[in-house]
Structure 1
Amino acid sequence: MDLSRLRPVYEHDGPFATVYLEGRAPAEDAAKQVRLRWQALRERLEADGADPRAVDAAEAAARTDTPGEEQADGRVIVAHPEAGVVLDEHWDAALGAGDAAHWGHLPELGAYGREAARAVRALVVLADREGARVRQEVVAEQHTPETRADEEVEGGALEGVHKPREGGLSHRVIQHRAENAVSRNAQDVADYVARTADTFHPRVVILAGEVQARTAVRDALPAPLRDTVTETSRGGAHAGSSDEALTDEVLRIAERESTADAEEQVDRLRSGLGHDRAAEGSQAVGAAAEMGAVDTLLLEDGAAASREAFLLRNCAESASTLTVAPAGTGLKDGVGALLRFPLEQSTPG
């Protein structure tokens, strides 16, 4: 996760109200449930001395959805007494942590940041001989992929893409033209995918659909993008069970990519500790964050990091990234960092 996206939150001096609303399956009495849940959250904030203006702003933001939608999608909202709502984002409904409310000098964004850091950006390309369906998806842990864009891409080949079944010279010519048409359409799809990747920045490109079509698209992609490709035979061009199978495959691939990325960052941390290019523990990482030396902040999954809100603010201000290390990594105080420069170089000598 690029923590610089949280900078607007920290442009205001605290205190802040931070509210997590857990996603739940909509029920017939959804409106009543939402009212009761918000009453409980308000009471928690008021007991902590929260400014009523911040509480009112947070509640107004969450109550803009219909009760059913409000329940189905988890939310994280940060509100300031004077600035109003400074953050309003979806939050993973599958975490099962329940509703939560915090009032403090800094917003409590550890849970939100951890989920966002585990999310994987995927370009899903469902190819056939005439074009492809291309989806930009953000896949969070245990979550249905969030589709940011869904486009039908048609190739520009004028020739038919269907090969004749009988032999003969004319049929060979038609077959050759059909193969050329498939290649042309695949090139058009690959060009679209490459342009989209330049702005979407996917972690992985998932190619599905007809074997010939997806192979042609893969071969037409630029080499750097081709290195991010994973092919799958699951899913198809039609709605129904094939869509469900493809969604399951996207979730599996995203989980694999997220785990691999986290393990790679932990390996870099272990190596960097011996060469002054990494730090571990609340005190060392906090000092590095204050100097703007943190390139990547690592928070261990399942371990509450000491001074987490403080670290997130300082790292956001210096445009650090956030990675969640696997549970059991054993980071001191639950926190580590990859550094932009050795800390001793930042002090006068």
Structure 2
Amino acid sequence: MHTTGLRELVSTDGPFASVYFDDSHDTADAEKLLDLRWRELRERLTEQGAAEPALTALETAIKEGDRPVGRSGRALVAAADRVLLDRHLDQPPATTEARLSDLPYVLPLVTYGEPGPVHVIALIDRIGAELVAVDPYGQVTVEQITEGTDYPVHAVTHVGQIRRHMEERVEETIKLNLKQVADDIDKLVQRTGAELVIVAGEVKNRSALKEQLSDRVRPIAHEVTSGSRADGIDQDVLHADIERIVAKAKENKRADVLARFEQEMGRDGGLAVQGLQAVTTALREANVTTLLVADPGDAAGTTVLVGPEPNYVAMQRGELGDLDATRRRADEALPLAAIATDADLVHTGQRLDLVEGFGALLRHD
């Protein structure tokens, strides 16, 4: 997870009210269940001493926010009277979390809310395309229409040489139209930094378009058999196919990070460390490119020392010199230190055991 969008958590003073819960809207009583969940969250935060302005801000965001479709989770972090973070999660968290603490709690966000790749969706036909760019959180950022010429794009019934000539004109027109679509896709990829292009439409048009894509875009283009510009298309099937491709891209990205960590750990002088002592040292030196976190429960109750800056984290006071330091939960302090130093955050799931629950890929040795 890139942490640029979380920087406000570093620059804001606590205490922070952090909540993570099931926000699914796949039943007739979804609104009633949402109200009950919020009552439970509010009660738990109140018991911990949360102030009314923060509770009011959370309640407003939850009750007035957009509703997801189907199964989903929700993550919110508030401080004072403002909601600093409000995101839908790919799946409901395994347990409901409601925590009031001096530092924001973001580990469940890393576990359940890994942003997807910026991607471009192209619904094409022989005349043009509908192009949509989607940000890492599923929000549409660009919508545009590419229209070529519509004559001639259908062969007419003639005989002999006239028919062959008309067919050649049709094919050339379609080719020019798809070349225009390919050029617009390339521009949109450059403009948005998209890592993925999803193409829907008739198979012949998809194949022809792929030939027209630039060398930079062709390797990131994926075709789906569902969806087109025609009316009456089952959009649910198309959306399911898009979600499947995006989920696979996220999984591949996570797998690449874990494989790199294992490779670096396996060689002498490799750019990877694990365990609280080594990881806090690397964070303090701003030498972490990616902080890896195992099951949040692995770090429950573990504390580290935090100095005057978020990345001044240590296990012993002597490591911070004469700086003032306060003992904080490791599952809050280390992710915040990563955010403060522009390091990415990755949850390892069940695929990789980490000493004391934390590991790091380093910028340099």
Q: TM-score, normalised by structure 1?
A: 0.83
1:75 maps onto 2:69 in alignment: no
Secondary structure (helix, strand or coil) at the match of 1:222 reads coil
Distance (whole Å) between structure 2 residues aligned to residue 291 and residue 230 of structure 1: 41
Q: Deviations over 1:131-177 (max 9, x none)?
A: 1222334688xxxxx35157452333363211234343333332222
Higher mean C-alpha deviation, range 26-35 or range 275-284 = 26-35
Q: CA deviation at 1:324?
A: 3.1
**Residue 291 of structure 1 aligns to which amino acid in structure 2?**
E
Code of the aligned partner of 1:75? R
* Correspondence 1:38 to 2:38: yes
Deviation at 1:286, TM superposition (A): 2.3
CA deviation after TM superposition for structure 1 residue 254, in Å: 2.5
3-state DSSP of counterpart to 1:117 = coil
Q: Tell me the equivalent position of 1:333.
A: 356
**Correspondence for 1:130:** 127
Q: Check whether the contact 1:58–1:77 (CA below 8 A) recurs between aligned residues.
A: yes
**Equivalent residue of 1:129, what SS?**
coil
CA contact 1:294–1:320 (8 Å) conserved in 2: yes
What's the counterpart of residue 48 of structure 2? 48
Is the Cα–Cα contact under 8 Å of residues 262 and 326 in structure 1 kept in the other structure?
no
Unaligned runs of 5+ in 1: 141-145, 343-349
CA displacement 1:264-286 (0-9 Å, x = unmatched): 11121122222331122233222
The one-letter amino acid of 1:25's match is H
Aligned length: 334
Q: What letter corresponds to residue 22 of structure 1 in structure 2?
A: D
Q: TM (normalized to structure 2)?
A: 0.80
Q: Summarize the Cα distance change of 1:247–1:302 in structure 2 as closer, same or farther, 3 Å threshold.
A: farther
Q: Select 2:331's aligned residue among 299, 303, 308.
A: 308
CA RMSD of aligned residues (A): 3.0
1 CA distance for matches of 2:263 and 2:27?
51
Contact 1:118 1:323 in 2 (8 A): no
Q: Which amino acid aligns with 2:12?
A: H
Q: Which residue of 2 aligns with 1:91?
A: 89
What is the deviation of 1:4? 1.6
Shift of 1:207: 1.9
Q: Report if the CA contact (8 A) 1:62-1:70 is conserved.
A: no
Q: 2:18 matched to which residue of 1?
A: 18
3-state DSSP of counterpart to 2:151: coil
Matches for 1:146-295 after TM superposition, within 5 Å: 146=138, 148-149=140-141, 151=143, 153-157=145-149, 159-238=151-230, 242-273=234-265, 274=267, 275-295=269-289
In structure 2, distance between residues paired with 1:22 and 1:232: 30
Q: Determine the C-alpha separation between the residues in 1 that align with 2:298 and 2:157.
A: 65
For 1:107, what is the secondary structure of its paired residue? Answer: coil
Which residue of the partner structure matches residue 347 of structure 1? Answer: none
Q: Post-superposition shift, 1:71?
A: 10
1:322 partner letter: L
Counterpart AA for 2:10: Y
Amino acid of the structure 2 residue aligned with 1:84: R
> Is the alpha carbon distance of 1:39 and 1:251 closer, same or farther for their aligned partners in structure 2, counting shifts above 3 Å?
closer
